[in-house]
A and B are shown apart, each in its own frame.
Chain A
Amino acid sequence: QVQLVQSGAEVKKPGASVKVSCKVSGYTLTELSMHWVRQAPGKGLEWMGGFDPEDGETIYAQKFQGRVTMTEDTSTDTASMELSSLRSEDTAVYYCAHLRSGWYKEHYFDYWGQGTLVTVSS
């Protein structure tokens, strides 16, 4: 059973950066394809990016290109997502989630972290 435990809530000022971590247990990080999804207050789910096991690379949503960096520390089985140049619109709950791959294009998020609220306010 995979468990994903995220770091605590953050309050940041506009222009700052935030780093959210996601600790894996039950599996090793190298066995998982970790992605990040965010949800603004009262809004839907928005995919930010994640590890593509087919290419062996991290892919980012175009919207966040240049502002987001996703990293993995396999020694501690911890994935991290850093978002820079924060603005008020980045206020959201950020989730890490494992993307399971089945046959061909069958990909779905079967394990999720509990979420981390990031508030951007002056």
Chain B
Amino acid sequence: DIQMTQSPSSLSASVGDRVTITCRASQSISSYLNWYQQKPGKAPKLLIYAASSLQSGVPSRFSGSGSGTDFTLTISSLQPEDFATYYCQQSYSTPPVTFGQGTRLEIK
């Protein structure tokens, strides 16, 4: 199974900051990497698919990049509603579908 490792596990940032979250795969997954945002008590929400494609309706301050084993999710200017937990997920080698352990983004 492909293991997905996110870093950091948590980070604190302020409104307006530029934030980057990293996801590393245990083997190459080409660009088959998706990002989700989850707020407390809510279902995850798809932000980015295929490493860099923005899901419809998602603000353009979110962007994704990377290929192979290393990927990043960038939020260009943090907004109050962006404080949440973010997960990456690979679809290159399934089953199983595997997720990263999550990155909790907190207000500084």
Interface residues of A (CB under 8 A from B): 35, 37, 44-47, 49, 59-62, 95, 97, 99, 102-103, 105-110, 112-115
| Chain B interface extent, by class | 20 to 34
Q: Are A44 and B43 in contact (CB under 8 A)?
A: no
Min CB distance B95 to A, Å, is 5
25 example contacts (A-B, Cβ-Cβ < 8 A) are as follows A44-B87, A44-B99, A44-B100, A44-B101, A44-B102, A45-B36, A45-B87, A45-B99, A47-B95, A47-B96, A47-B98, A59-B95, A60-B95, A95-B43, A99-B97, A103-B50, A105-B91, A107-B32, A107-B91, A108-B91, A109-B36, A109-B89, A112-B43, A112-B45, A115-B42
**CA A6 to CA B98, docked complex, whole Å:** 23
The answer to whether B89 touches A108 (Cβ under 8 A) is: yes
The interface residues of chain B lying within 8 Å CB-to-CB of A102 are 49-50
User: How far does the alpha carbon of A95 sit from the alpha carbon of B36 in the complex, in Å?
Assistant: 14
For residue A45, which residues in chain B have a CB less than 8 angstroms away from its CB? 36, 38, 44, 87, 89, 99, 102
Asked whether, in the complex, the Cβ of B94 is within 8 Å of the Cβ of A107, the reply is yes
Q: Give the residues in chain B near A95, CB-CB below 8 Å.
A: 43-44
B94 touches A115 (CB 8 A): no
For residue A50, which residue of chain B has the nearest CB?
B97
**B67 interface residue per 8 A CB criterion:** no
Nearest to A46 among chain B residues (CB) is B99
| C-alpha spacing A88/B38, complex, angstroms | 24
> Known contacts being A47-B96, A47-B97, A61-B95, is A108 close to B43, with CB within 8 Å?
no
Residues of B with C-beta under 8 A to A99: 97
| Contact call A105/B43, Cβ cutoff below 8 A | no
Most B CB within 10 A of own CB, among A59, A61, A109, A110? A109
B4 to A: closest C-beta gap in Å: 10
Taking CB atoms, residues of chain A closer than 8 Å to B94 are 105, 107
A44-B102, A107-B94, A115-B42 known; 8 new pairs, CB 8 Å cut-off, are A44-B87, A44-B100, A47-B99, A60-B95, A105-B32, A106-B32, A109-B34, A109-B89
- Taken together as a complex, chains A and B put the C-alpha atoms of A99 and B44 apart, in Å, by 13
